[in-house]
Amino acid sequence: MLELSRKSDYALRAVIYLARISPERYGRVSEIAKAKGIPQAFLAQILPLLANRGVVKSQQGAHGGYALARAPGEITFLEVIECVEGPLRLNKCVEGHHDDCTILDSCEMQNVWTQAQGQMVGFLKSVTMADMLKAPLQVQDIRQGPVAIEPR
């Protein structure tokens, strides 16, 4: 089964939470964890990964915690996911990793994987944290047209 990890899910929840609070305010790990239903110890491991990649910033002290490092419209789903997972790749033969595949010359599926990779990455790159602030989010379903995604 192709599924993103809990780590990605929790990272996205935390960043969406930070996008919703005042830009001048820092959210504490305990506050974010409670509000978004994330185990606090796990979130404490995830937020530094996001800070190291410039998605969030941290501040020590009584009014410390985490805040977005950039405007919500500049932070994409893809960026957050790749901060905690590394580069997304459906199969070894996509995104310039052709050396990893021994049957590339005779593979009937490589074109399908490449197109699917492009659509998945393109879509995740197109959804920003600013989009999550809108309710409901309108996305384009490739097969059916616009679909409303209700915020949780």
Report yes or no on 49 lying in a domain. yes
Among the listed residues 69, 71, 38, 65, the one whose alpha carbon sits nearest the alpha carbon of residue 52:
69
Report yes or no on 28 lying in a domain. yes
Residues 6 or more apart from 17 whose CB is under 8 A from it?
27, 32, 35, 36
Domain count, the chain: 1
Report yes or no on 130 lying in a domain. yes
Residue 99: helix, strand or coil by DSSP? Answer: helix
Task: Sort residue 95 into left (φ over 0), alpha (ψ -120 to 50) or beta.
Answer: left
CATH assignment of the domain containing 137: 1.10.10.10
| Residue-wise DSSP of 38-97 | --HHHHHHHHHHHHHTTSEEEE-STT-EEEESS-GGG-BHHHHHHHHH-S--SSTTSTT-
Residues 91-132 pLDDT 10s: 777 766 556 667 766 778 878 888 888 899 999 999 999 999
**Structural domain that includes position 99:** 6-149
Residues 37-65 pLDDT 10s: 999 999 999 999 999 999 999 999 888 89
| Whole-number Å distance between alpha carbons of 11 and 50 | 8
Residues 121-132 pLDDT 10s: 999 999 999 999
Residue 9: helix, strand or coil by DSSP? Answer: helix
